[in-house]
Structure 1
Amino acid sequence: MILFETMQLGEGQIKRLAYHKARIKQSSKQFAYPFNDKLWDDTITSIEKQYPTQMKRIKLTLDESGKMDYQIFPLTTKNHFTAKLQCVSQHVPKAYVINKTSQREHLRHNHETDLILLYNEEGKILEFDIGNIVIKEDDQWYTPFYNDDFLRGTMRQYLLEQEKVKVKDYDIASFKYKVQHDLIEVMLINSLREVADVEIYL
């Protein structure tokens, strides 16, 4: 199993870098993976120097021996997605839910839509398979309370600290009703897309 971060590189800098480092470092402690700060810093510097002007998607990985590696991909400009609802089992190990790891069986789907929007067995709306959810209601942005039940994204953390979003839970019944009656707007947030519109298929 590997830990990884997916990051946006633009104009020679990785955005929200401190958030990414803090998250993978915390995960490395939880799984007892060695984490070398100098190796991280040197790897990031090398990546940023390679692409001083281009927009790229960076996937940086950390394995159980402490080895870091990375892959670089084009960053597409897709900013509208479709999603369907999918219940996540309570039997998924919490460590795989709250950390970004290669153990992602609970996020698999048949891609009838671009994304899946997960909810738990109690009906709480949680997250998308590739990022957190923001719901716009009455000109305010909301994202679910964190209760060790989803991955805390770096963009979510940034927006909370900037006080651009508030925390509020939505249950699946009221969420469906509000989607059907156009009472809310639904958005995906992550460090790559930042903010993207999502159309929910019910």
Structure 2
Amino acid sequence: MFSLIETMRLDNGEVKRLSYHKKRIDGAIHHFKLNAFDFEDALRSYVEKNGLYTGIYRLRVEYNNDLKITHDLLEDKEEVDANVLKMAPTDSEFLEYKTTVRSQYVTTTYPFALYYDSENRITEFNIGNVVVKEADGYYTPRENGLLNGVMRQFLIDSGKIKIRDYTLEEFIELYHEKKIDIYLINSLREWVKVNLHV
């Protein structure tokens, strides 16, 4: 039996982008026909019980009609190394919803991987979405049936990033010519610069 997952940034007692996390887990609960629960109240109670009002923590919720919440201190990473891999085909519901089914998110030489799909379009990282910084702004690919991350949607809604697709060949050429910077984004770590090995 798999569980739904939400991994959140708790910053001095505040869950960042809480409404986005709630919307995503509520949608997954509805899709997988699980019992609804008060997500915000469960988090509030957990923070209060554990006195997590100072510092930055990773909060992790797992839910499959049983609720498990854990936390640990978050050590921020400023840069990571990643390579590029083709994503293996998998059941789309385990790409569109965040669950403990993670077999599709394989890596090889590096702990982080940037994927491309069967049409050679850049899609996402194994633990987050991709943002490309060009001279005229910041871009992220269309969802292409993959996970629309909380941080990604927040940045789109606030007008900080725009949608643009990249083919693998175009992406690698731009990177080699130093015309783009690449970032891994997620709601936990926010922005992390990527050194891509291609």
The normalised TM-score by structure 2 is 0.95
Query: What is the identity, as a one-letter code, of the residue corresponding to 1:83?
Result: A
Query: Match of 2:20?
Result: 19
Query: Match of 2:103?
Result: 105
Q: Aligned partners of 2:195 and 2:136: how far apart in 1? A: 18
Query: Match of 1:3?
Result: 4
1:34-183 mapped onto 2 (5 Å cutoff): 34-37=35-38, 40-49=39-48, 50-63=51-64, 66-90=65-89, 92-110=90-108, 112-148=109-145, 150-183=146-179
Q: Aligned partners of 2:106 and 2:87: how far apart in 1? A: 10
Report if aligned partners of 2:123, 2:144 keep a CA contact under 8 Å in 1: no
Query: What is the identity, as a one-letter code, of the residue corresponding to 2:61?
Result: L
Query: What is the identity, as a one-letter code, of the residue corresponding to 2:154?
Result: Y
User: Shift in Å at residue 35 of structure 1?
Assistant: 1.6
Query: What is the identity, as a one-letter code, of the residue corresponding to 2:189?
Result: R
Report if aligned partners of 2:129, 2:186 keep a CA contact under 8 Å in 1: yes
Query: Match of 1:193?
Result: 189
Query: What is the identity, as a one-letter code, of the residue corresponding to 1:67?
Result: D
Matched residue of 2:104: which SS?
A: helix
Q: Aligned partners of 1:134 and 1:88: how far apart in 2? A: 18
User: Shift in Å at residue 46 of structure 1?
Assistant: 1.7
Query: What is the identity, as a one-letter code, of the residue corresponding to 2:6?
Result: E
User: Shift in Å at residue 108 of structure 1?
Assistant: 2.1
Q: Aligned partners of 2:76 and 2:33: how far apart in 1? A: 36
Q: Aligned partners of 2:6 and 2:186: how far apart in 1? A: 11
User: Shift in Å at residue 7 of structure 1?
Assistant: 0.3
Report if aligned partners of 1:143, 1:166 keep a CA contact under 8 Å in 2: yes
Query: What is the identity, as a one-letter code, of the residue corresponding to 1:71?
Result: T
CA-to-aligned-CA distance 1:132-186 (integer Å, 9 cap, x gap): 00001123000011232x1111110110011000000000010111111111110
Matched residue of 1:105: which SS?
A: coil
Q: Aligned partners of 1:163 and 1:101: how far apart in 2? A: 28
Percent identity among equivalent residues? 32
Q: Which runs of 5+ in 1 are unaligned?
A: none
User: Shift in Å at residue 34 of structure 1?
Assistant: 1.2
